[in-house]
């Protein structure tokens, strides 16, 4: 399975390996540079190896700050998908891992920030100790050089200076505190729980990135960490001349009489982040321009359990199955954009989304559409985004598994397959579909029931009732539902969903499901598609492996996890 993963995700694996390699290289190279370079001989005399830890982590912070914005430039990614449309689809699909890479870079930023802060706390402590030392040692002498009118090396010039004082009165200290607080807020508010339940909190705190980048650029301007200047190193090489600094020599006759001179390390964060920031600004301008194009809401349907269906039209809008759009409603908020999976098929003359209550914004949107009498509220749309899930059409037999909210993209896929099937589309190789729907309660997905019922009716009418077999698994149920089902067991329609196929209570026994499909299609290649949690992906992958025949002429199961 590891081999299969590498074949399918070679691009992701290459990017990951390159990213890790560059981080390791930058950290190692700059750690050794600051730990050994002659220019920082005197700085190291005061700070020790904490200097190298602080500077190496700073380089990695700059590198990752350069990368963090690139994966969220969704128009740039769409452009890349378009330009490599001749590439293999697996390569284009890798671009859908953009948010995973974004999170990975964010974790790296958090790690290097922690290293950088700890190293600088050690540095502050050592600067303080050297300033207060009166033993005539090299660190003590270097810390008093500003008193003779020379350039300073130790930025602390008072015995009363505390860590708090440096943190809140110096540019590096203050910007460092602000950047760290911003990073903590952004990382903690991006947990799945907050994103799912309080999207607005995640959305607004993430816009603190503006403060992060401003702070990052300003952070190094004061140049508190210094090294010996090139000219001074030629005149008084540190390795040869350092010992004379601790000697009180009034009548100097050697060539190390001159005191060393020091200069700041120039701020360079701006060089790393300038291009990505400009690219991101261009991306935002493009989003505003695209959003200004008129969207006409052609139909509004209120489904049970307060699920809102919006059918829309927009000039030049072209979608594929499995894609998503971002929606903004200026009446609620000018800034908030929320992602929704498209539930319409490309063959339809409109595009649609189904919106359930999942936070304040969705609740207010549903309220607005429920209350509107004459005038439709204005809706802005950006997209579509994401790679089309066309692989579904490439298999004779397809097993589609939708768990919870992961059922949404299958609305588009099932409708599209049916349209292609009706039109005898040559690109469709599918002869049979098995659809498995797992959910705690069907309430919020009553609209999906209606879709299945409509497909069931159309297929029965055209004599193709056996094209789609679906199995509904209710994983969250109580005794009243069970009693109701027991009473009406012999009715032709299911009591929970009203569909022809009965609802099964509990979780699927995947071994028996796969065995049944293998028995029904002994010589077919079966594509298994999941949109759902990672734990389910593992058990499906295992079943695919177990039930695939070693004989190339017999049944084979291929697992595909879709990232919607």
pLDDT at 342: 92
Residues 94, 9 contacting (CB under 8 angstroms):
yes
What CATH number has the domain spanning 395-403+417-448+456-561? 3.40.50.80
Which residue's entry shows tokens 């540019």?
A: 171
How much is the pTM? 0.80
**Domain 295-385: homologous superfamily in CATH:** Translation factors (2.40.30.10)
For β-strands 468-474 and 503-505, DSSP reports them as parallel
What does the alpha-carbon distance between residue 10 and residue 273 come to, in Å, rounded to a whole number?
Answer: 28
For β-strands 397-403 and 525-531, DSSP reports them as parallel
Residues 547, 539 contacting (CB under 8 angstroms):
no
- For residue 558, the tally of other CB atoms under 10 A from its CB is 17
Peptide bond into 357 cis (omega under 30): no
CA dihedral in degrees (525, 531, 537, 539; nearest 10)? -70
Edge-to-edge, what's the strand order for the sheet holding 556-561?
A: 503-505, 468-474, 432-439, 397-403, 525-531, 556-561
- For residue 147, the tally of other CB atoms under 10 A from its CB is 9
- For residue 127, the tally of other CB atoms under 10 A from its CB is 23
- What residues are paired with 530 via a beta bridge? 401, 561
Q: Greatest CA separation found in the chain?
A: 113
Strand ranges (DSSP E) for 271-350?
Answer: 295-303, 307-314, 324-328, 338-341
Q: pLDDT in tens for each of the 564 residues of the chain?
A: 555 555 556 778 888 999 999 999 999 999 999 999 999 999 999 999 999 999 999 999 999 999 999 999 988 888 777 776 556 556 666 777 888 899 999 999 999 999 999 999 999 999 999 999 888 899 999 998 887 767 889 998 888 888 888 888 899 999 999 999 999 999 999 998 888 788 888 989 999 999 999 999 999 998 889 999 999 999 999 988 888 888 766 667 777 888 899 999 888 999 999 999 999 999 999 888 888 889 999 999 988 878 899 999 999 899 988 888 999 999 998 888 888 989 999 999 999 999 988 778 899 999 999 887 667 899 999 988 876 677 788 788 999 998 877 788 888 988 888 888 888 777 778 889 999 988 877 676 778 878 888 888 888 887 777 888 888 888 875 554 454 444 444 444 444 444 555 678 788 899 999 999 999 999 888 989 888 887 888 899 889 988 988 887 888 898 877 654
Edge-to-edge, what's the strand order for the sheet holding 295-303?
A: 295-303, 307-314, 351-355
In three-state secondary structure terms, 525 is strand
How many DSSP H helices and E strands does the chain contain? 22, 14
H helix or E strand, kind and range, residue 400: strand 397-403
């Amino acid at each position: 399975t590891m081999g299969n993963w590498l074949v399918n995700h070679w691009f992701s694996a290459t990017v990951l390996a390159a990213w890790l390699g560059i981080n390791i290289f930058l950290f190692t190279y700059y750690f050794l540079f600051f730990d050994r370079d002659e220019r920082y001989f005197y700085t190291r005399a005061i700070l020790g190896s904490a200097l190298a830890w602080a500077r190496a982590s700073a380089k990695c912070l700059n590198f990752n700050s350069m990368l963090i914005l690139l994966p969220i430039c969704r128009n740039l990614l769409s452009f890349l998908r378009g330009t490599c449309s001749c590439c293999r689809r697996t390569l284009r699909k890798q671009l859908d891992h953009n948010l995973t890479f974004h999170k990975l870079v964010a974790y790296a930023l958090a790690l290097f920030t922690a290293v950088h802060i700890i190293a600088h706390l050690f540095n502050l402590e050592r600067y303080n100790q050297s300033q207060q030392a009166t033993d005539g040692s090299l660190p003590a002498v270097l810390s008093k050089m500003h008193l003779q009118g020379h350039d300073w090396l130790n930025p602390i010039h008072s015995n009363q200076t505390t860590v708090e004082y440096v943190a809140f009165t110096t540019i590096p200290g203050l910007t460092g505190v602000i950047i760290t607080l911003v990073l903590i807020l952004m990382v903690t508010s991006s947990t799945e729980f907050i994103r799912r339940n309080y999207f607005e909190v995640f959305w607004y705190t993430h816009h603190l990135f503006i403060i992060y980048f401003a702070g990052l650029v300003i952070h190094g301007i004061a140049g508190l960490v210094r090294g010996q200047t090139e000219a001074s190193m030629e005149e008084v090489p540190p390795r040869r001349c350092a010992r004379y600094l601790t000697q009180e020599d009034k009548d100097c006759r050697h060539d190390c009489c001159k005191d060393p001179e020091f200069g700041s390390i120039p701020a360079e964060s701006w060089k790393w982040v300038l291009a990505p920031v400009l690219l991101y600004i261009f991306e935002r301008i493009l989003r505003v321009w695209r959003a200004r194009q008129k969207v006409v809401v052609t139909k509004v349907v209120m489904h049970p359990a307060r699920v809102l269906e919006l059918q829309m039209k927009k000039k030049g809008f072209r979608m594929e199955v499995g894609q998503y759009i971002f929606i903004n409603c200026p009446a609620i908020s000018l800034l908030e954009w929320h992602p929704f999976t498209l539930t319409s098929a490309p063959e339809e003359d409109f595009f649609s989304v189904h919106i359930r209550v999942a936070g304040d914004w969705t609740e207010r949107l549903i309220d607005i559409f429920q209350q509107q009498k004459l005038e439709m509220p204005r809706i802005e749309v950006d997209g579509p985004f994401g790679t089309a899930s066309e692989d579904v059409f490439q298999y004779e037999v397809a097993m589609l598994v939708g768990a919870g909210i992961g059922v949404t993209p299958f609305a588009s896929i099932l409708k599209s397959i049916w349209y292609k099937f009706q039109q005898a589309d040559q690109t469709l190789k599918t002869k049979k579909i098995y659809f498995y729907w797992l959910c705690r309660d069907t309430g919020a997905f009553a609209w999906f029931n209606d879709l299945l019922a409509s497909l069931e009716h159309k297929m029965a009418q055209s004599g193709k009732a056996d094209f789609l077999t679906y199995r509904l698994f209710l994983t969250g149920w109580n005794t009243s539902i069970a009693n109701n089902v027991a009473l009406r067991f012999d009715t032709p329609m299911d009591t929970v969903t009203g569909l022809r196929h009965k609802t099964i209570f509990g979780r699927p026994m995947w071994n028996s499901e796969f065995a049944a499909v293998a028995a029904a299609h002994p010589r077919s290649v079966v594509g298994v598609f999941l949109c759902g949690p990672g734990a389910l992906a593992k058990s499906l992958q295992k079943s695919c492996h177990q039930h695939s025949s070693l004989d190339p002429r017999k049944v084979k199961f291929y697992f595909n996890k879709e990232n919607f």
